Structure 1
Amino acid sequence: MGKRTIEERILEEGHFLLEELRKTQGKPFDPTFVVSRSVSNIICSVIFGSRFDYDDDRLLTIIHLINENFQIMSSPWGEMYNIFPNLLDWVPGPHRRLFKNYGRIKDIIARSVREHQASLDPNSPRDFIDCFLTKMAQEKQDPLSHFFMDTLLMTTHNLLFGGTETVGTTLRHAFRLLMKYPEVQVRVQEEIDRVVGRERLPTVEDRAAMPYTDAVIHEVQRFADVIPMSLPHRVIRDTNFRGFTIPRGTDVITLLNTVHYDPSQFLKPKEFNPEHFLDANMSFKKSPAFMPFSAGRRLCLGEALARMELFLYLTAILQSFSLQPLGAPEDIDLTPLSSGLGNLPRPYQLCVLAR
């Protein structure tokens, strides 16, 4: 979808994020919107063809609405609405803002689609929207086509939501974990200095030579369990499972944290321990029980992008800064504020000190 690779987009955006962090001058700040604006710009550049300035009203509105919907969906209200949607349609509560917020995001996307339609060149697509519009035109006479306007708007919304909230929330969990375990932060920084140095930003090629950092990122994902639920599966025939009969047509939502906290798969599943992903020689090892992006046909299509972003963002930040909590590391509470669609980290502030 363009001449620049995704890695180049992330590295470019990383420069803007580091500059924003330098502006804090070591003073306390809430990382939520600082990180979300940068992460969202990656998927925005793929969808819309260009990044936004950090003070752009369109970007700020998208992030605000996505963050609010993620909070609602991760709250008890969101869980109840998933279970009893018909009942809660008649009950007042914050869940009613979900569709209002979605409508506002949809309006923003529709505005961008109209702008693309006015300047579309099918022979030179600039981004995801251009590619989709071109496919719509090619299949407009096909009654079985999946390429029509409603699908474009919904798919773009899903890409924005997934590409913004999951990585941003994981990074906020990572900051808290690294502040609570400063010895882990120091070891990651030592590995960055040894492999990359300070003269350039880390690249994806560096990951193979940084087993400890790779293990830390995997352990952050396992421990934080940002999205503990897999996508729904529908049983295609009557199925017996562990003594229970699941009738054909039943929708099943898998809780991935059951395997991420399985003591038969991880030595100390309730503890943050990067050695879960290291062998006796301190080389990185994969775990078949590690499934933050689900698996098989339900595998998240954004897995490669998310892994790349987590590595490049976290290493770039720790290369230039040390993360400092406002209180004692042992007082940091790692339990999520709420758990539903995702595990929402508690609000906090931190300081980033130049190294």
Structure 2
Amino acid sequence: MRTKAFDYKKAKEKMRITNPKQLNLKEINTVLVLAPFEVGNMMLCIPALEALKQAVSPLGNITVVTSKKTAGIVEGCKSVSRVIPFNAATAVNAIAEVYKKKYDLMINFTSYKRLSFVFGDLSAAKARVAYEAKEASAIFERVYNLTLHTIDEPQHRLFYYLNLVRFIGANTYDFNPKIWIKEDANKFALHYFEKKGIDCNKPMIGINPTLKDEKKRWSFNKFAQMVSTLRESEGAQVLVFSHKNEKSMLDEFMHITKEKCIHVDVSDYLKLAAISRYLWCFVCNEADYMHIFAPFTNVIAIWGDSDPDNNKPIGPNHEVLQSIDGSADSVPVSTVLDHVRNCF
């Protein structure tokens, strides 16, 4: 009787993956990523996506599921082949898109319980990677076969994401988030400046004074003092950036400054990034704009009582200003002005 030859390929396909060493990333062609839904966190996740792209097959495709508001940022990430925006209106279509395709690898960077189960299960990937759930769950353990234990020590969010891909063998030492600004966004920025009467040859300072958490916010009056000084002594043009849900605070600030600032009424993040390339510097509280603009201009972040090492902007030319008492409003106007002038 002839014995059937051992089919190594089939055996490998049936083998349950329980250890990251069983993965050969160069054999991975399709990856599904459940990415952060918050703008700042999405920016800090980009180096992990870049590391993953470099590690998988040269023909490998990375599909990212993220919120509709952050989808534009992900579209500017060259390591991503496809973006699936997810919100209440697109949920059914997003789930259907994931269901109709089979993936070799699924990575979950989030802690969203329901979405973790749904997309992890629908991916049909042999290797599904996530951080260990804080509360043990049989369903979670069934869906995710490769889980990384979270360390108790504080760490920057960028390394929180990067360590998850390092766990399966992908790595990078380039920690700067990179997004590609398309030519139409660059043209938009120049057209926008022309429409608003902004001279690109004169000093242009960006600010983000609006923040709902008052403990972390530099006061409107201090921002106004800085604006007045920069306009009078440096001839600077000051551009104000804010979110749609901060309109009442924006109106209050514009009233205090007597409308001497230019409000940037743009919500598309890639267009905002294109505008930020022309800023001499950007002064803000601890908010998501600092991560969006960090690859393109000097960021001066005025910090509250939290540890900046957990969330500070990434890059060599940024400054974090924090007072001894941990109150953002205790940072003197003169200190901020000195750092702004260093960018001139």
What range is the shorter-chain TM-score in?
under 0.3
* Greater share of residues in helix: 1
Give the TM-score normalised by structure 2: 0.25
Q: Which has the higher contact order (CA 8 A, sep 6+)?
A: 1
Higher strand proportion, which one? 2
